[in-house]
Amino acid sequence: MGKILIIDDERAIRRALREILEFEDFAVDEAENGKEGFEKATETVYDIIFCDIKMPLMDGLEVLRELVKVGVETPVIMISGHGNVETAVEAIKNGAFDFIEKPLDLNRILVTIRNASDKSSMLEEKKILKTTVKRLKGGKIIGESEGIKKIKELISKVAPSGARVMITGANGTGKELVARALHDNSDRAKNPFVEVNCAAIPSELIESELFGHVKGAFTSAIKDKKGKFEISSGGTLFLDEIGDMSASAQAKVLRALQENVIQRVGSEKDIKVNCRVIAATNKDLKKEISEGNFREDLYHRLAVILIHVPALNDRRNDIPLLVDYFLSMICSNQGIPKKMVSPEGMKALQKINWTGNIRELRNIIERLIILCGMTIDEKDVELFANP
């Protein structure tokens, strides 16, 4: 079922607890003093720790404080034959999950173990969720090339201002990362960051997605729905691939930017909104304007600040940094030791024509991690980078 550590200087207590726990199918480790228990608890991951209070070398409360200090999240159940209310309160304040007095009661132990196991499961789920969210958010801006340094400088200047930003660049260059960095470094960072991919939503649905709708506005509108402008109010609305937005939606977005007011589809009621709009595109919007596909007045509303994200082929010196970042991230996510790329392998990666930019590089690094040994060399890159 799980792994439990018993820290107690009394052999009889350790034996009695072991018998109970092993009968419940737990794997059990023992430590006969606080120092040994602390060392085991920091070297091995346990599901639950039972810890006596009065012990030689390190007492139980000291063990508890040190475990909390080094970031051990395992639930610690304190046990003592000299227990009183003050001791129990101090233990809980210091981070103990529970406090049990000796002599130990079988039913109390089993109930506490069940509750502590539930907490361990929640902590593990929380870690997985944090990792997933971090992965979905895409990480941070990696690179020391002149183009990337310029972007970082612009972010530091522009983010606190609240100015609207237009981010340009080819697919896969990392435009969303720039948008997130602008949000995270602004005074809106604690509020929502909401993304809308204008190219992925059919033109007949984009207005409902952005502005919401009222019940009965169209056939499938079975109830009122908030749009992304409302949801992101107080935060940041990121309009990705805005060059693909329909003409009708462009007109309504322009009004929203001018007046900070929207109307849900099927309603004439004005709704005030307060979101910072950041847009991104892989298209040449000035060309789109000349061809009548994009509104010039909307462009000027959005492009207060222009940030261009260079293609990976234009920043090849950043490839070693990006490779190292992806190696660390992907190997960590897969729960395996970090793999390495030989100098020859790195040179081979730098010679590739990266038409898919950072997104393509990440995918190839993941492929190499899965298919190659601990060191990825030039032959591996030639064999697997361009299958």
Tell me the pTM: 0.64
Q: What is the mean pLDDT of residues 151-165?
A: 94
pLDDT of 20 > 70? The answer is: yes
Query: Which is more confident, 120 or 107?
Result: 107
Cβ partners under 8 Å of residue 133, min gap 6? none
Q: What is the mean pLDDT of residues 238-266?
A: 93
Q: What is the pLDDT of residues 275-288, one digit of tens each?
A: 999 999 999 999 99
Q: What is the pLDDT of residues 298-340, one digit of tens each?
A: 999 999 999 999 999 999 999 999 999 999 999 998 889 999 9
- Among the residue ranges 43-47, 285-289, 296-300, 363-367, the one predicted with the least confidence is 43-47
Cβ partners under 8 Å of residue 204, min gap 6? none
Q: Round to whole Å and give the CA distance between 210 and 140.
A: 27
**Ranges of each domain in the chain:** 3-135, 146-310, 313-384
Nearest partner of 328 among 146, 180, 135, judged by Cα: 135
We find that the CATH architecture of domain 3-135 is 3-Layer(aba) Sandwich (3.40)
pLDDT of 223 > 90? The answer is: no
What's the confidence (pLDDT) of residue 117?
77
What's the confidence (pLDDT) of residue 123?
62
CATH of 313-384 given 3.40.449.10, 3.40.50.12780, 1.10.8.60, 1.10.1040.10:
1.10.8.60
Q: What is the mean pLDDT of residues 259-278?
A: 93
Query: Which is more confident, 2 or 327?
Result: 327
Query: Which is more confident, 83 or 32?
Result: 32
Lookup: tokens for 45: 């991951």
Nearest partner of 178 among 204, 141, 209, judged by Cα: 141
Q: What is the mean pLDDT of residues 369-387?
A: 91
Q: What is the mean pLDDT of residues 142-151?
A: 94
Q: What is the mean pLDDT of residues 213-227?
A: 85
What's the confidence (pLDDT) of residue 197?
94
Query: Which is more confident, 364 or 67?
Result: 364
Q: What is the mean pLDDT of residues 255-278?
A: 93
b/e burial code for range 147-168 (CB count within 10 A of at least 16 → b): ebeebeebbeebbeeeebbbbb
Query: Which is more confident, 387 or 344?
Result: 344
Query: Which is more confident, 235 or 204?
Result: 235
CA distances 25 to 46, 302, 328, 359, Å, are: 14, 62, 36, 46
Q: Round to whole Å and give the CA distance between 111 and 136.
A: 37
> Peptide bond preceding 310: is omega within 30 degrees of 0, i.e. cis?
no
237: β partners: 194, 277
What's the confidence (pLDDT) of residue 137?
45
What's the confidence (pLDDT) of residue 170?
95
pLDDT of 217 > 90? The answer is: no
pLDDT of 128 > 70? The answer is: no
In eight-state DSSP terms, residue 233 is: T
What's the confidence (pLDDT) of residue 134?
46
Q: What is the mean pLDDT of residues 38-56?
A: 87
What's the confidence (pLDDT) of residue 138?
44
Residue % of the chain over a pLDDT of 90? 61
Is there a contact between 341 and 327 (Cβ–Cβ < 8 Å)?
yes
What's the confidence (pLDDT) of residue 125?
58
**Helix H or strand E encompassing 27:** strand 27-31
The answer to whether 3-135 and 146-310 have equal CATH topology is yes
CATH number for the segment(s) 146-310: 3.40.50.300
